[in-house]
Amino acid sequence: MNFELTQDHKVLQDTLRDFVKNEIAPIAADIDKNHEIPADLVKKIGEMGFLGTYIPEEYGGAGLDYFSYIMTVEEVSKACASTGVMISAHTSLAADPILQFGNEEQKKKYLPPLATGERIGCIMLTEPEAGSDVANISTTYRDEGDHYVVNGSKIFITNGAFRGISVLFATKDKNLKHKGLSAFILDLESEGVEILKNEEKLGIRGSYTTAFALDNVKIPKENLLGNEGDGFKIAMETLNGGRIGIAAQALGIAEGAFEKCLSYVQERKQFGKPLAAFQAIQFKLADMATRIEASKLITYKAAWLKDMKKTNAIESAMAKMYASETATFVTKEAVQIHGGYGYICEYEVERMFRDAKITEIYEGTNEVQRIVISKMLLK
């Protein structure tokens, strides 16, 4: 069992850290304040190949492995969770299902612009009454001969306001539950696709979270992903990968906050001594570091299993659950260690504290992850 990064992964890690230090970290606070990731930064991320890490070179991607993508989300999220989730949702929730379930024509048409960042991807799954309960999706589609027509609404769509490429889920008949679901590739600039609003959020404020109305949206027949009725299977497999991406984001947030704490406790003095000299602080650091290391191991294992094309549903749920709770724990402790300074915006742990909470909620709340894990254990 080898826990060492390969030479290629070490090179990628160094490249990522340099890019994050020079391009993302200096503007992370502005991204949060302005509720927007600058277009020129998105372009640079695309040019670096970070939006197409494991997309094969023949489709315009970097041709790396899945672990390289996880490392990318982790390193970016250390400085800016909004940018990290933009990359995560784009890659694992839009590009991945097209790569895994699309036919050759679909891959050649949609993967290159996604891989380069020319178009930003998203998944249109969540509705006002159907999020984790995928079988109760009420957005409908009907067959009109040479195209489908879709009507309904979607909410909480990460990356939605980029109006890029979406993987959309709709039902032929709600009474059929999961058996009626199909997946489609939808260009969000299509007629009938209307943005209702972008949500104001507690954290990850630079990430678009968008509500849509779909009014008689025409989707060409060739944009059906897989076969009719495959939607539930595609959604479940996509969410498995999405959970690993969220785990990587949470891991990065926790690591970023921990690194800020290590510097702070060695510089900040109280009662004539650095904070690091106090046992109460040392205990906190030990707990934070241990949880981060455990989160890293389970997240990396889940990514390795996906790279090996092995079943990873239980590991991805465990990684998402544990890493997200670690991010919340670590950032809470980071604010506590910083004292009053941790509560003001000048110190980055305040933003990281706000950003961490969402990782416990999206891609299924952690209560859902516990259900997934327990059901598989009881099999």
| Catalytic positions, written as ranges | 363
How far apart are alpha carbons 26 and 63 in whole angstroms?
29
Q: What letter would DSSP give residue 62?
A: -
Q: Write phi, then psi, for 199 (nearest 5 degrees).
A: -70, 140
Pair 164, 188: CB distance under 8 Å: yes
Pair 69, 234: CB distance under 8 Å: no
Number of C-alpha atoms within 13 angstroms, CB side, residue 301? Answer: 18
Q: How far is CA 240 from CA 74, 155, 183, 296, in A?
A: 17, 20, 16, 17
How far apart are alpha carbons 299 and 371 in whole angstroms?
19
Q: What letter would DSSP give residue 5?
A: P
How far apart are alpha carbons 273 and 279 in whole angstroms?
12
- Characterize the bridge pairing of strands 209-220 and 273-274: unpaired
Query: How far from chain centre, in Å, is Cα 256?
Result: 17
Pair 317, 247: CB distance under 8 Å: no
Length of the chain: 379
Encode burial over 277-302: b for 16+ CB neighbours within 10 A, e otherwise.
eeeebeebbeebbebbeebbebbbbb
| Beta-bridge partners for 147 | 220
